[in-house]
Amino acid sequence: MPIVPEIQDRLRAAFPQANDVALARAAREGVLLADDLYSGGTLLDNVLGRDLRGHIRRVGIAYRIIEFCRRGDLPFSAEMTSMPRGRWHWLQIRGTGVLAHACRTDEVFAFPDEAESRQDLRLALQPNLLSWSERDKSLGEISKEVPELYAWLTYRVADDGNLCHLCLASPAPDDNQWLAHVSILREIDLAGRAPPPLPPVADPKEKLRFKEHVQQTLGRTNDNKVSSE
């Protein structure tokens, strides 16, 4: 299924190009904060802690994007919410008329690993897109009737801490095809608007706040695990 221009435009209207640099900056700062926990004998600088690196980077990205939204550097709303199934959580971002969840993917155009919660949610939000071929209206016209489109903010972080990709993409409700797709890092490069380089180390105050946030997050995870056993 090719990209649907109306859905592409709607996705871009919800998450405008003017915010690409700030969104990428937030994600990069989140990785920097996460990786700092693995240096200098900190609480995760051990064998078991390194097993959590991907999870901690995900927490860092979510933490920083939420902070950027809270202080107005990004004009969206963002929070950590429970997945429909299980005790896991994900970053939820809302722009005008679009709900997005953050998740890792292997490549720019790849889909997230299979998960019932993700599939259930896109079916719940976009069920009328399924019947477009049986109606007189085009898929683009039908998409305007959907109160809130569903999208993913996809990313992958390399071993060295650099972002391999950061994308906004809206999936079809019933199969792994994109109805809209924006490669944020590519758009930044094409516009010649590369973000300023990150400092070599994270801000000490932010490092402390993030460390406390991770400790609280891991504490809640352990409490939930104990209560479910």
Q: pLDDT tens, 23-61? A: 999 999 999 998 888 876 566 777 777 788 888 899 999
Determine the Cα–Cα distance for residues 161 and 182; give it in Å rounded to an integer.
22
Q: CA-CA distance, 112 to 83, in Å (whole number)?
A: 15
Beta strands in 61-196 (DSSP E): 77-82, 89-95, 98-104, 149-157, 163-171, 178-183
- Which of 195, 169, 172, 194 lies closest to 182 in space, CA to CA? 169
Q: Model's pTM, two decimal places?
A: 0.83
Q: What are the extents of the domains in the chain? A: 5-192+201-228
Average pLDDT over residues 107-134: 71
- Continuous segment of H or E residues that includes residue 118: helix 116-125
Cα separation, 116 vs 105, whole angstroms: 16
Q: Mind giving me the DSSP string for 6-39?
A: HHHHHHHHHS-GGGHHHHHHHHHHHHHHHHHTTS
Whether 117 has a pLDDT exceeding 70, the answer reads no
